[in-house]
Amino acid sequence: MITHFAQLQLNTVSIQGIKQFYHDQLRLPIVYESDNEICFKPTEYFTLSFKEAAEPLSPVHFAFEIPASEFENVVEGLRETGITFLKWPDGRDIDDFGTGKNVYFRDGDGNLLEIITHTYVKEGILSPGGELKILYLREIGFPVDSVIDFRELLVDIFNFKLDKVFDDFTFAISGTAHAVIASKKRKWIPIAMTALPPKMNVSFGASSSGFIEMVKTNLTAKGIHYDENNEKGQLHFSINDYSFRLGLTDFPEEVPALLNL
């Protein structure tokens, strides 16, 4: 199975701007830095990296899950560092959606970040990372022309489960990873932000080599070309202009169930 998002690699127009936001303000630890690339490790199992690219950017939406017991503290801490939360049309910036709470804000490239918590997610299973107390990267947004076609591919190729199934929106879920599949015509909440497909590399963790073999078979059946990096034991392929990697991970396979997901 796919256990989690292992890496999200985005383009940026300024490594220094990214560093000031993600390291100086959000306090994410840096694990690699060069003139044109910077990598952060918000948790033991997830890397967020940015590469400088001289091309226009489309903002990405992604969400970090944090423990319910830490939510108020983390949000107040972010306010103190000068983060401006985005408001809903009625003026509030924290949303209580019943099973949890969330806030949204943007980085200097316009990426739409979310800090989210769910009361049903069991604490004490994963150790919260850094000052933001991040448990895992929960969501990555995938704006597409056809939500129905894209989610069917994710189900057929990776065995994703679906939730909140609408014609213009669906969660495709495996482990802690939630792919937010949204129509390009449906705007991102809470600021009605146009959902443009971003250029990004998304790496999934796989729990077994048998699963990777199954994905290879499924990709071939769909006529999707893949490359193999034997050194890293990774598959690389593209679906709808989104670039994916799939590799073996030591993220424990039982964690999602223990988290009550």
Point out which residues bind Fe ion (CB under 5 A). 63, 114, 139
Q: Which is nearer to Fe ion, 56 or 98 (CB)?
A: 98
Q: Which is nearer to Fe ion, 63 or 154 (CB)?
A: 63
* Distance of closest approach, residue 203 Cβ to Fe ion, in angstroms: 19
Query: What residue type is 77 in one-letter code?
Result: G
* Distance of closest approach, residue 112 Cβ to Fe ion, in angstroms: 8
* Distance of closest approach, residue 111 Cβ to Fe ion, in angstroms: 12
* Distance of closest approach, residue 139 Cβ to Fe ion, in angstroms: 5
- Please tell me the distance from the alpha carbon of residue 85 to that of residue 217, in angstroms, as a whole number: 44
How far from chain centre, in Å, is Cα 161?
A: 17
Q: Which is nearer to Fe ion, 50 or 62 (CB)?
A: 62
Q: Which is nearer to Fe ion, 21 or 64 (CB)?
A: 64
Please, which residues have CB within 8 angstroms of residue 90's CB and are 6 or more apart in sequence?
A: none
* Distance of closest approach, residue 25 Cβ to Fe ion, in angstroms: 20
Q: Which is nearer to Fe ion, 58 or 218 (CB)?
A: 58
Please, which residues have CB within 8 angstroms of residue 223's CB and are 6 or more apart in sequence?
A: none
Residue keyed to tokens 């999200």: 8
Q: In what order do the strands lie in the sheet with 242-248?
A: 30-33, 37-43, 46-52, 2-12, 200-206, 242-248, 234-239, 226-229
- Please tell me the distance from the alpha carbon of residue 237 to that of residue 32, in angstroms, as a whole number: 25
How far from chain centre, in Å, is Cα 101?
A: 17
